[in-house]
Chains A and B, each alone.
Chain A
Amino acid sequence: MSTTERSGAPAGETPSTPEPASVPIKAIRLRHPWRMVFAAVIVVVFALVMIDAAFRPAYDWPSVGKYLFDRRISQAAVVTIELTVFSMVIAIVLGVILAVMRLSPNPVVKSVAWFYLWVFRGTPVYVQLTIWGLISLIYSRIDLGIPFTEPWLSFQTGDLLSLFTIAVIGLSLNEAAYMAEIVRAGLLAVDRGQEEAATALGMSWAQTMTRVILPQSMRVIIPPTGNEVISMLKTTSLVTAVPLSTELFTRSRDISAETFNPIPLLIVASLWYLLFTSILMVGQYFLEKRFARGVGDRQTEKKDPGTATGAFTGVMPVVGSDPPAVIVPPKNAPGGTR
């Protein structure tokens, strides 16, 4: 139906005729000349910087290529990944415990968690790592047993804890303080009615937590946790304070100390860090999708099941939505109506 047809319809005779609302709007698009200008300027500047970088001798691209897959570098990259994974796993577990402690009705438990956060969030991680590096000076022996009696087991701290272990301890204990706040925010974001409903069904506190509250809080917890993992990956470059020298950044510094050519090795380290963060970002995307079940895919709420499938299916094209925003029941997706 065209506009001319509509205006040509006899007036007064068809008041009940449905509005021909589906006439597509044909309008001259609004121009944005300044957008084009800005875009062009930015592209030109960016290209100039890139071209300049490509030919600047200080970057020493041939050396970058030579060291990018150097065995010492790739081994160090593995250590960096190990540091990140171990520290993060411990930090998340500890963070959940601390978050639950902070929400505990027991004031002593609550205060302990608060004190932990105050100390570990309130001091720089580099300082903490340095102190952990000196742990064997502070506690030269570790005794297991009942206080004031002969210990059952006794270790020299230096034998028990490798530099790598100390680095993991230092990184994870610091990170746990941040994770605790993230988890706590997630737990508090879940509606109180959820806990009540689970309790009313006779579920225990542990069941309520693991089956109802935590899965829902994941949606809130995952995005900032993804941030923390990426942040942790980069913070591993500080374990030189322990001093652990086998990870990516310290290793590339050590190599450049021999070659007297630091810049290409810094680029090499950066490229590896970038590769890892890129992989982490992809992983986070899929995790977020997984925990958005039942919530993230929320579209228009259906009013009545009968009319919803009949009236909406396939005839609700929404401009700019791809795939088309049509309410599709999970089971009987309407095929071919669109």
Chain B
Amino acid sequence: MSATNVPLAQSHPDVPMVLAEQVSKSFGSNEVLKGISLEVKRGEVMCLVGPSGSGKSTFLRCINHLEVLSAGRLSVDGELIGYREANGKLYEMAPKEAARQRRDIGMVFQRFNLFPHMTALQNVMEAPIRVKGLPKAQVEQTARDLLARVGLAERADYYPAHLSGGQQQRVAIARALAMEPKLMLFDEPTSALDPELVGEVLDVMKGLAKSGMTMIVVTHEMGFAREVADSLVFMDGGVVVEAGDPDQVLTNPQHRRTQAFLSKVL
């Protein structure tokens, strides 16, 4: 996506796309995130890796307010997520405002979560029509272009049940892109796929990264991380253990826990 497509007026090249400061999240007494601080620059592709239960997915879900933070601050494109700040106080956002923020943040799920009662094309068209109120003919054109971009122009009228996992995930990516997001979140997008279908989804994501999209990818695909990511963050036990250049972290991990994890997955 080119810079001209970035929709918001407040977008400023110096403002990081995502800025997390001491983000914490507890489910009851279970503290899943223990103070995550990180920064994702405009156009950056960041991979989050780590053992299951390390809080990667929870952190990702906090970014578009699917989970509510327990502590810390999280802002996207300079805008605080989930809260409004005035006179030094935080005000909880109304659902409508939260929904407006989510419009600009695309999310791709591990289990695709396509709407099964709609065709691939209808899945992609749904949000632009209902949420943005764009005219149907225009949306259909964009949707068909997007499906072509993920290599599924021929499958536009198929229901999800008639598509393979890899195809479903590519439709899900097109569905998220249809809202013209400024940030894309991927929550283990290839973990539910048969091994031979992983490649086609990763290819679409590589193309997206090349086009300049800001992306945060929770993944176990170390090859993808090495090839595509600008930065790699290793999380364990709800904290960032190690972060930096993917090549460096993967080939020369500094921390013992990173070494232990990588020795198992590489």
Contacts and interface: CB of A to CB of B under 8 A. Distances in A.
26 contacts: A196-B66, A197-B107, A197-B114, A201-B131, A201-B176, A202-B102, A202-B131, A203-B99, A204-B95, A211-B126, A291-B117, A293-B117, A293-B159, A294-B159, A295-B159, A297-B159, A297-B161, A298-B161, A301-B161, A302-B163, A302-B164, A303-B194, A305-B164, A305-B167, A327-B162, A331-B157
A202 B116 contact: no
Contact of B102 (A193, A200, A211, A293): A200
Interface string A104-131: 0000000000000000000000000000
B102 A197 contact: no
Given A301-B164, A302-B162, A331-B157, A201 B116 contact: no
Contacts, number: 98
**Closest 8 pairs (CB-CB, A-B):** A202-B103, A294-B159, A197-B113, A201-B127, A193-B113, A200-B107, A298-B161, A202-B102
Interface residues of A, number: 33
Given A201-B102, A202-B102, A191 B113 contact: yes
B161 A202 contact: no
Interface in B121-153: 126-127, 130-131
B161 A295 contact: yes
Contact of A202 (B158, B160, B162, B179): B179
A199 B102 contact: yes
B150 to A, nearest CB: 13
A196 B66 CA distance: 7
Given A215-B117, A294-B116, A201 B164 contact: no
Interface of B: 64, 66, 95-96, 99-100, 102-103, 105-107, 109, 111, 113-119, 126-127, 130-131, 154-155, 157-164, 167, 172, 175-176, 179, 194
A74 B70 CA distance: 67
Contacts of B116: 216, 294-295
Interface in A85-108: none
A34 B179 CA distance: 65
A329 interface: yes
Contacts of A201: 102-103, 126-127, 131, 175-176, 179
Contacts of B106: 200
Nearest to B105: A200
Contacts of B127: 201-203
B64 A200 contact: yes
Contacts of A204: 95-96, 99
